[in-house]
Amino acid sequence: MTSSLNLSGRVAVVTGASRGIGYFLAKELAAAGAHVVAVARTIGGLEELDDEIKAEKAISGKGEATLVPLDLADGAGVDRLGGAIHERWGKLDILVANAGVLGVISPLGHVEAKVFEKVMAVNVTATWRLIRSVDPLLRLSDAGRAIVLSSGAAHSAKAFWGPYAASKAAVEAMVRSWADETKNLPLRINAVNPGATRTAMRAQAVPGEDPQILPHPSEIARKIAPLASPALTETGLIFDAPSERFLRYRLPE
Ligand code: NAP
C-alpha cells in the first residue's frame, strides 16, 4: 500500500518514534519521501531510526529525519517544537501523535495517584498541547493530516485497564472535536486503533502472552501510513488497523 504513497516535500511530526509503532510509522513516512521530525526521549532509539532512514535514502533517494529528544510532558518544550517547525518550514503537513504510556494494569482503587496523573499527562494533556502547538501549522498545509493513536481499550474499558482506557477515550473525544472544528478545511484528522501489536507496551500490559502471535509493528505501520496521504477524504473517524476499516461513531439521538 505504502509503495503508492507519495509524501515527497511533506513534513511530518511523529511522536514516540524511538521504538514500537511510532518507529516504524516514521520509517514508512520517510520511505514515502517525507521529512520526519522524530520525537521521543530515548536518543539511542532516535539515532537508530535516523541511521535506517539514511540507509534507505542511499538506495531510494527518499526520506529524511530531524531528531527531537523531548519529554512530551514538558509543555513549554512542546510549544517550542511548533515554533521551530514554523521557523524552518512555515507549515506542517502530517502529525502522528503516537507517544503514549500504559500506566498500570490494576483495579482502579489500587492505582497510585502519580501513576494515574502520568497517564493523563502523557496520553491526554501532552496530546492536547501538541495539537495546540501544531494546529496553526497544519492549517498552512494544502492537505494537513493528523493521525492520533488511540486503542480499542477506549471502548472495551475492560477490568483493570481503567486509567489507560479513560485516557484513550479522552483522546478520541479530542480528535472528534478537532475534526469537527476543521471539517471545512483541507485538514483530515483521524484516530487509530492499531490493535494488539508486538511492542514493549503490549508486553507490559499482557506479560504472559507469546509476542510471536502478535503482528510486528512494521506490519501495523504499513496499514496506518496511508492515512497521511493528501488523497485521504475521511475525517473525525477511527481507523481500525486490524480490519483496515474506518469505524463511524454513533451520532447523538
Ligand atoms: P511503546 O513501544 O511503549 O512506545 C511508546 C513510545 O512513546 C516510545 O517511543 C516512547 O519513547 C514514547 N513516549 C512515551 N512517553 C513519552 C514522553 N513522556 N515523551 C516523549 N515520548 C514518550 O508503545 P507502542 O505499543 O508502540 O504504542 C504506540 C501507541 O499505540 C500508543 O499511543 C499506544 O497507546 C497505542 N496502542 C498500542 C497497542 C499495542 O498493542 N502495542 C494497542 C493499542 C494502542 P521514549 O520512551 O523514548 O520517550
Residue 5 within any structural domain of the chain: no
Domain ranges, residue 204: 11-247
Question: Rounded distance, CA 104 to CA 204, Å?
Answer: 8
Residue 103 within any structural domain of the chain: yes
**Three-class SS of residue 143?**
coil
Residue 4 within any structural domain of the chain: no
Joined grid coordinates for residue 117: 496523573
Predicted confidence (pLDDT) at residue 2 exceeds the cutoff of 60: no
Predicted confidence (pLDDT) at residue 1 exceeds the cutoff of 80: no
Please tell me the distance between residue 19's alpha carbon and the centre of ligand 1 in angstroms. Answer: 8
Residue 166 within any structural domain of the chain: yes
Model pLDDT for residues 196-239, shown as the tens digit of each residue:
999 999 999 999 999 999 999 999 999 999 999 999 999 999 99
Residue type, 228: A
Question: Rounded distance, CA 82 to CA 50, Å?
Answer: 21
Pocket probe mutation, ligand 1, options 28, 41, 167, 238, max atoms within 8 Å of Cβ:
41
Task: Give the DSSP letter of residue 121.
Answer: I
Please tell me the distance between residue 147's alpha carbon and the centre of ligand 1 in angstroms. Answer: 14
Model pLDDT for residues 167-202, shown as the tens digit of each residue:
999 999 999 999 999 999 999 999 999 999 999 999
Q: Is 81 in the pocket of ligand 1 (CB under 6 A)?
A: no
Atom of ligand 1 nearest to the CA of 205: 40
Q: Is 162 in the pocket of ligand 1 (CB under 6 A)?
A: no
Residue with cell 495546540: 132
Helix (H) or strand (E) segment spanning residue 177: helix 162-181
The pLDDT confidence band at residue 14, using thresholds 50, 70 and 90, is very high
Question: Rounded distance, CA 119 to CA 67, Å?
Answer: 24
- Position 250 scores a pLDDT of 55
- Position 248 scores a pLDDT of 80
- Position 253 scores a pLDDT of 46
Instruction: Identify the residue whose C-alpha is closest to ligand 1 atom 30.
Output: 149
Joined grid coordinates for residue 37: 521530525
Q: Is 205 in the pocket of ligand 1 (CB under 6 A)?
A: no
**Number of domains making up the chain:** 1
Q: Is 206 in the pocket of ligand 1 (CB under 6 A)?
A: no
Annotation marks residue 164 as catalytic: yes
Question: Rounded distance, CA 180 to CA 208, Å?
Answer: 41
**Three-class SS of residue 150?**
coil
Q: Tell me which residue of 189, 193, 180 sits closest to 224, measured CA to CA.
A: 193
Instruction: Identify the residue whose C-alpha is closest to ligand 1 atom 48.
Output: 41
Helix (H) or strand (E) segment spanning residue 148: strand 145-149
Which residues, including other chains, have CB under 8 Å from residue 230's CB and lie 6 or more apart? Answer: 10, 142, 143, 145
In b/e form, how buried is each residue of 185-207, taking b as 16+ CB within 10 angstroms?
A: eebbbbbbbbbbbbbebbeebee
User: What is the reported pTM?
Assistant: 0.97
Instruction: Identify the residue whose C-alpha is closest to ligand 1 atom 21.
Output: 40
Residue 252 within any structural domain of the chain: no
Predicted confidence (pLDDT) at residue 252 exceeds the cutoff of 60: no
Q: Tell me which residue of 224, 246, 247, 240 sits closest to 5, measured CA to CA.
A: 224
Q: CATH number for the domain including 154? A: 3.40.50.720
Residue 85's CB is within 10 A of a number of other CB atoms, namely 20
Q: Is 192 in the pocket of ligand 1 (CB under 6 A)?
A: no
Residue type, 200: A
Compare 251 and 61 and report the one with higher pLDDT: 61
Residue 84 within any structural domain of the chain: yes
